[in-house]
Amino acid sequence: MSNQAVNTNDLLNNITNVKGIKCWGAHTGIKSMRRDLAIIFSEVPANASATFTVNDVIAEPVKLTKKHISDNRAQAIVVNSGNANACTGEQGYKGAEAMAKTTAEGVGIDKELVVVASTGLIGEAFPTEGIVAGIKENIPKLSNSPKAGSFAANAILTTDTFAKEGHLSFNLDGKEVNIAGIAKGSGMIHPNMATMLSFIVTDAAIDKSLLDETVKKAVEKSFNMITVDGDTSTNDMVVVLANGMAENEVINSKDDPNFKVFEEHLSQMMIHLAKLIISDAEGASKFIEYKVAKAESYQTAKKLARSVSDSLLVKTAMFGRDPNWGRIIMAAGNAGVHFDSFHVDLYIGNEKELVQILDKGVPVDFNRNLMKKMLRESHIRVHLNLNEGEAEATAWGSDITTDYVMFNSVYTT
């Protein structure tokens, strides 16, 4: 994949760069001070694809959205923050329905074209009335101004310390195609509100089943490869709308070279947003990249990268600035896939440099002082070469700190 930078540090680089996209973010009163309602609207119906939480306890808006998006078509997204609408039963489901209906009526579309999402506290009664009034009040404000994009990105946050946005553009058939997205998730301090949400919009023209396939693949490589505390929330959702307004020739086949170009850029956007979520993991002191290379299959590489990045013992070692290869190999051994520890080369380092720790499973005599110094940095890389094939996968994670335990234990229900 190309390493083209995603534009993000600029108010202008947000979802309103995508043709036909209008949005808004407002304060309706669920949260005391901050924006708590986001609406995203495409001028024309879009092809759509979504992935949802794997938690067996599913929030009410997730149930509704699964139904609405089953035909892979959508035109509007309505999201509230502050209340997760989870463990709320029928009252909550009706609230989610009311959000869809009010939005649909406001913009003049079928309610089945509306995606509904919520994030916030679990098990609180859902404040349907206030949210419905808020939607009605704010639909007339839908706009493609940069300010509107920023308001929407901010309105989906809970404990996040910054809005997570990205935009990139590229050419297909001489037409400018845009992909832009917003995300939320900080995951560490208030995990009841640690829902991971991401909404990505593009003006690319692509067949709906190809879109669905590529979205699922890109989620697999990005949002599914970040780990903070291993728990999946009741509300997790990633939604992609592709409205075709870039007017490129519709991508109808996997053999179309444009399919690969689109897929790479979509993955890049998702990885960008996923890494922003990890960067915002409060109670963490480090951002860590775990790359597993030369594996016999992608599945093996992926499972090993996830198992090492999930390991509590590896996370504490990273916090303690300790290149503890025994813990890394043990965590890899717990991945449930086969590899030979006597084939493994292990490297640990910072963004610029990697130091070899194991050579075919045998400890190398490395410079411990240099290593300690590197591990003081906030961006760490851990690379495992299995020397058993050609596949590779990367996961991203944070360390675990005494602050993490403190924050999570003082949080009160």
Residues that bind its own copies (CB under 8 A): 54-58, 87, 89, 121-123, 191-192, 229-234, 311-313, 316-317, 319-327, 329-339, 341-342, 361, 363, 400-402, 404-406, 408-413
- Smallest separation (angstroms) from its own copies to the CB of 290: 16
Q: In the complex with its own copies, which residue's Cβ is closer, 9 or 413? A: 413
Closest C-alpha to 63, from 210, 181, 235, 254: 235
Q: What are phi and psi of 122, to 5 degrees?
A: -85, 140
Contact 81, 30 (CB under 8 A): yes
Q: CA 349 to CA 330: how far, in whole Å?
A: 20
Closest C-alpha to 307, from 293, 288, 290: 290
- Smallest separation (angstroms) from its own copies to the CB of 152: 27
Q: CA 84 to CA 325: how far, in whole Å?
A: 40
Contact 252, 87 (CB under 8 A): no
Residues 86, 91, 97, 98: what is their CA dihedral angle, to the nearest 10 degrees?
Answer: -120
Q: In the complex with its own copies, which residue's Cβ is closer, 181 or 349? A: 349
Between helices 89-107 and 60-68, what is the axis angle to 10°? 50
* Residue matched to tokens 């990005």: 222
Return the structure tokens found at 32: 């005391």
- Smallest separation (angstroms) from its own copies to the CB of 117: 17
Closest C-alpha to 39, from 181, 166, 108, 142: 142
Q: In the complex with its own copies, which residue's Cβ is closer, 102 or 300? A: 300
- Smallest separation (angstroms) from its own copies to the CB of 315: 9
| Amino acid identity for residue 57 in this structure | V
- Smallest separation (angstroms) from its own copies to the CB of 394: 21
Q: In the complex with its own copies, which residue's Cβ is closer, 112 or 322? A: 322
* Residue matched to tokens 């890494």: 275
CA 352, chain centre distance (Å): 26
Q: What sign does the CA torsion over 405, 372, 307, 214 have?
A: positive
* Residue matched to tokens 């845009």: 178
Using a 10 angstrom Cβ sphere, with 0-12 exposed, 13-18 middle and 19 or more buried, the burial of residue 30 is buried
- Smallest separation (angstroms) from its own copies to the CB of 98: 21
Return the structure tokens found at 90: 């029928």
Q: In the complex with its own copies, which residue's Cβ is closer, 144 or 407? A: 407
CA 322, chain centre distance (Å): 29
List of residues 6+ apart from 73 with CB closer than 8 A: 45, 46, 47, 48, 113, 208
Q: In the complex with its own copies, which residue's Cβ is closer, 31 or 321? A: 321
- Smallest separation (angstroms) from its own copies to the CB of 190: 10
Q: In the complex with its own copies, which residue's Cβ is closer, 182 or 194? A: 194
Closest C-alpha to 282, from 90, 145, 411: 411
Question: Active site includes 65?
Answer: no
- Smallest separation (angstroms) from its own copies to the CB of 27: 24
Candidates 28, 195, 214, 300; catalytic one: 195
How is residue 411 annotated by DSSP? -
Q: In the complex with its own copies, which residue's Cβ is closer, 112 or 388? A: 388
Q: Which residues are catalytic?
A: 195
